[in-house]
Amino acid sequence: MSNIWICKLLSSLITLLIISSCVYVCEGQEAMATALPPAAETCNGVFISYQLMDRRKEFPRVKNVTAQSWAFNATAKVLNTGKDVVKSWKLFIGFQHDEILISADGGIPFEAGEFPADVGNGTTLVGSNLADLETSINTANDMNQIQALIKISGTQFGVKPPGVPLPKTIKLDNDGYKCPRPTTRKRIMQACCNRDPKSKKKLIKTKFIPRQKGDLTISYDVVQAYDNNYLVQVTMENHSPLGRLDRWNLTWEWTRGEFIQQMKGAFTREIEYTGCIFGPPGQYYKDMDFSKVMNCQKHPVISDMPPEKSNDTELGKIPFCCRNGTLLPIIMDPSQSKSIFQMQVFKSPPDLDKTSLFPPAKWKITGVLNPAYECGPPLKVQPTIFPETRGLDAITYAIASWQIVCNITKPKQRTTGCCVSFSAFYNESIVPCNTCACGCDEDEDNGRCNPNAKSMLLPSEALLVPFENRTKKTVAWAKLKHFHVPRKLPCGDNCGVSINWHVASDHKGGWSARITLFNWKPYFFKNWFTALQFKKTVSDGFEKVYSFNGTLLRKINNTIFMQGIEGSNYLIGIDNETNPKVPGKQQSVISFTKKFMPTMQIAKGDGFPTKVLFNGEECSLPTQFPMRSGNQHNVYLVQQVLILVLAFTMIQILY
Ligand SMILES: *[C@@H]1O[C@H](CO)[C@@H](O)[C@H](O)[C@H]1NC(C)=O
Ligand SMILES: *[C@@H]1O[C@H](CO)[C@@H](O)[C@H](O)[C@H]1NC(C)=O
Ligand SMILES: *[C@@H]1O[C@H](CO)[C@@H](O)[C@H](O)[C@H]1NC(C)=O
Ligand SMILES: *[C@@H]1O[C@H](CO)[C@@H](O)[C@H](O)[C@H]1NC(C)=O
Ligand SMILES: *[C@@H]1O[C@H](CO)[C@@H](O)[C@H](O)[C@H]1NC(C)=O
Ligand SMILES: *[C@@H]1O[C@H](CO)[C@@H](O)[C@H](O)[C@H]1NC(C)=O
Ligand SMILES: *[C@@H]1O[C@H](CO)[C@@H](O)[C@H](O)[C@H]1NC(C)=O
Ligand SMILES: *[C@@H]1O[C@H](CO)[C@@H](O)[C@H](O)[C@H]1NC(C)=O
Ligand SMILES: *[C@@H]1O[C@H](CO)[C@@H](O)[C@H](O)[C@H]1NC(C)=O
Ligand SMILES: *[C@@H]1O[C@H](CO)[C@@H](O)[C@H](O)[C@H]1NC(C)=O
Ligand SMILES: *[C@@H]1O[C@H](CO)[C@@H](O)[C@H](O)[C@H]1NC(C)=O
Ligand SMILES: *[C@@H]1O[C@H](CO)[C@@H](O)[C@H](O)[C@H]1NC(C)=O
């Protein structure tokens, strides 16, 4: 009797054990099985779930529990149990344990881009191979078409067992759906999202921001749109009277997994498509031949085509393209103040419809020895109007337009590309460019020269000599003139271009100066320009520039604008075959009257510019002027006349 009783008790205990362990195991497998969880059966909308499958301690093993990393496996599901097709599903998973996604089979974390992706603040997954979820009604309950299954693996931090590290929340991020707080049981988090009856189809009534003014404006005009790609025309216009770009490089950030399939009128510096193959596009465009794709970088660097490609039907044939990246001020040539290129952009899920258009962000543009530009964000503006291309007297509109405004910023100290030296007929010494005017290379110069010492006065013949070969001359000059010679000599200016402003004569009615441009770079400057500002009454006395084409721009702070005359508008590069090297050089004399400022004091600074630009870049100016002492006037005048004559003959010989 008692034996039977004990037996019964034992067996029922065993059954209980089996059952309870089965409950635990079965629940773990439930998600894998075809049977749906009860909550899904009763959901008449979109059923979403997240289940932590497995987790293992990673290396390194640490004592600090919160710093321990774990490898985890999870499955997320989006199941359409409603009667409407769910277009471009988006599942937000609110991770909270510094998760790093290593893979997400079936989904793409679309803000994060590439794996491994830091998703510690949560991420939105979109479908890679199943972007839209069909209805059960349309497919005879084909689970493969109505359910997206995402297999996630990654790393997470902290949470000591038996704690179960689940996300903070999950929700369907599609417009028109509302999700309640998800319920959590053991390792599963789930919710049933329903259509939000209050959400009416938002009437997209776009209010456009008026177009802004700025030094350089860029227009991003979508001219053709298809479901998964669009054709965009990018137009850059230089509006600054003294702004300029040469060999421009334009870069930006794609924020939604786009890539550039083709480009006309410009090219990307790297032809790179591995980013696509291993990124979201590779998962979505399974049949695309990526070797024909132009660029898949998140931050492509784009440059203008060389002029030889302007008639190339495949790469060029875009108006205003193909000038090696030159954007001149309008006063120099309006036809060269604009650059245009076109590109075919392919999109990634979930942006797969014609109206999902997003411009890239974080625009930056640079040029060679040009001003520094700072660009604002793209702003949606009234679609750009284009003339009809078939010759009809009609206009067409861009599908969507954004404007990016870039303004010139004042160069910070030691970041410019050009500098100025001052000299005058009444003083034998030249006040050179400032030490490190264009920056100093710490590694190269460190120890050998002093980046903070004042630059040393020069004899005039040293101006044409590269800094590296000047030392002997400078030191000898200092000894001769009894100037202080510091123990550690100052570093050079390191500028690509330097400009010497030399006051050549000063008499009762007027005065004259000679400007010399030196190019220390190995490349030439075509269509160069320089712009000088003085005290207003000084520039009012501007008369004539002899060897350059000069104009006084009264509206722009009375700037004297100078460019090479037609045929001699090249500032050639340094000749590196000679020893010492010889810089490229251009020179002219400028005359002024004193009519508007009879009391002007040349040596006190009135005869020297207050601001100098070369190709739009603001040059570094010396901090002192050549001083006048005693009455050596006449001696140097004779010498100066000789130099002037020499300068003219040199120009004659050169051109
Ligand atoms: C444990 O690690 C966490 C995260 O790395 C850190 O914030 C915390 O200060 C560490 N605690 C100790 C006691 O070292
Ligand atoms: C995750 O799943 C894969 C394949 O099912 C397996 O190879 C891997 O070991 C799992 N990782 C963890 C941390 O459980
Ligand atoms: C998460 O958000 C915080 C605060 O906004 C931010 O500082 C941090 O960089 C974010 N982390 C990630 C991985 O985006
Ligand atoms: C391109 O074609 C135009 C018109 O036919 C011609 O004037 C120009 O020289 C050509 N440019 C090049 C680089 O071949
Ligand atoms: C265009 O740039 C290339 C390379 O930088 C240079 O070799 C060529 O001379 C330039 N052409 C013109 C017309 O400036
Ligand atoms: C433009 O990019 C190329 C390649 O990255 C680089 O060699 C060149 O110096 C850049 N030019 C400017 C002006 O930044
Ligand atoms: C650029 O400068 C213009 C005025 O010249 C100003 O209205 C605009 O806000 C500036 N834009 C940016 C992005 O700084
Ligand atoms: C003109 O000078 C004023 C004051 O120095 C300055 O604010 C302004 O930006 C200058 N304009 C130009 C076009 O350089
Ligand atoms: C001087 O420059 C002006 C304006 O850019 C231009 O119209 C004119 O043709 C130039 N003259 C010469 C001789 O180059
Ligand atoms: C001179 O410059 C050219 C072009 O930059 C370069 O190819 C050449 O090697 C240089 N020669 C010397 C002697 O430095
Ligand atoms: C000028 O300096 C360079 C670099 O230090 C050196 O190679 C060259 O021989 C020097 N030339 C003369 C004439 O001293
Ligand atoms: C020439 O000018 C410099 C810089 O202002 C000054 O230090 C020097 O004394 C002047 N020389 C003469 C002879 O006046």
* pLDDT for 636: 44
pLDDT reading at 373 higher than 90: yes
Domain residue spans of the chain: 31-195, 216-388+395-409, 418-654
Architecture of domain 418-654: Sandwich (2.60)
Q: Which ligand is nearest to the CA of 556?
A: 8
31-195 against 418-654: fold identical: yes
Q: Which ligand is nearest to the CA of 94?
A: 3
The vertex-32 CA angle with 30 and 34, nearest 5°, equals 85
Q: Which ligand is nearest to the CA of 579?
A: 11
The alpha-helical segments, DSSP class H, found in 410-525 are 442-445, 471-481
64 lines ligand 1 (CB under 6 A): yes
* Selected residue with higher pLDDT from 27 and 240: 240
* Measured CA distances, 569 to 286, 332, 528, 564 (Å): 53, 12, 7, 4
* Selected residue with higher pLDDT from 16 and 122: 122
pLDDT band at 126 (very low <50, low <70, confident <90, very high): confident
* pLDDT for 646: 47
CA of 575 to the centre of ligand 10 (A): 9
CA of 639 to the centre of ligand 11 (A): 29
pLDDT reading at 112 higher than 70: no
pLDDT reading at 50 higher than 90: yes
247 lines ligand 6 (CB under 6 A): yes
Q: Which ligand is nearest to the CA of 481?
A: 12
216-388+395-409 CATH: 2.60.40.290
CA of 306 to the centre of ligand 5 (A): 6
Nearest Cα to Cα of residue 422 among 414, 413, 431, 409: 431
User: pLDDT digit string (tens) for 389-410?
Assistant: 777 777 888 999 999 999 999 8
* pLDDT for 208: 79
The correct CATH number of 31-195 out of 2.40.50.140, 1.10.3720.10, 3.40.1390.30, 2.60.40.290 is 2.60.40.290
- The residue with tokens 């009012």 is 540
CA of 350 to the centre of ligand 2 (A): 28
Can you give the pTM of this predicted structure? 0.72
Out of 363-367, 375-379, 390-394, least confident range: 390-394
431 lines ligand 12 (CB under 6 A): yes
CA of 528 to the centre of ligand 9 (A): 13
Q: Whose CA is nearest to atom 10 of ligand 6?
A: 249
* pLDDT for 1: 44
* pLDDT for 129: 72
Cβ 379 vs Cβ 403: under 8 Å: yes
pLDDT reading at 4 higher than 90: no
Q: Determine the residue type at 78.
A: V
pLDDT band at 642 (very low <50, low <70, confident <90, very high): very low
Give the pLDDT mean for 600-627. Answer: 94
* pLDDT for 405: 94
Give the pLDDT mean for 360-387. Answer: 91
- The residue with tokens 């300068």 is 647
Burial-class residue 553 by CB neighbours within 10 Å (0-12, 13-18, 19+).
middle
* pLDDT for 132: 84
Bin 88: left if φ > 0, else alpha if -120 < ψ < 50, else beta: left
Q: Which residues contact 66 (CB under 8 A, 6 or more apart)?
A: 157, 158
Atom of ligand 3 nearest to the CA of 120: 13
Q: Whose CA is nearest to atom 10 of ligand 8?
A: 557
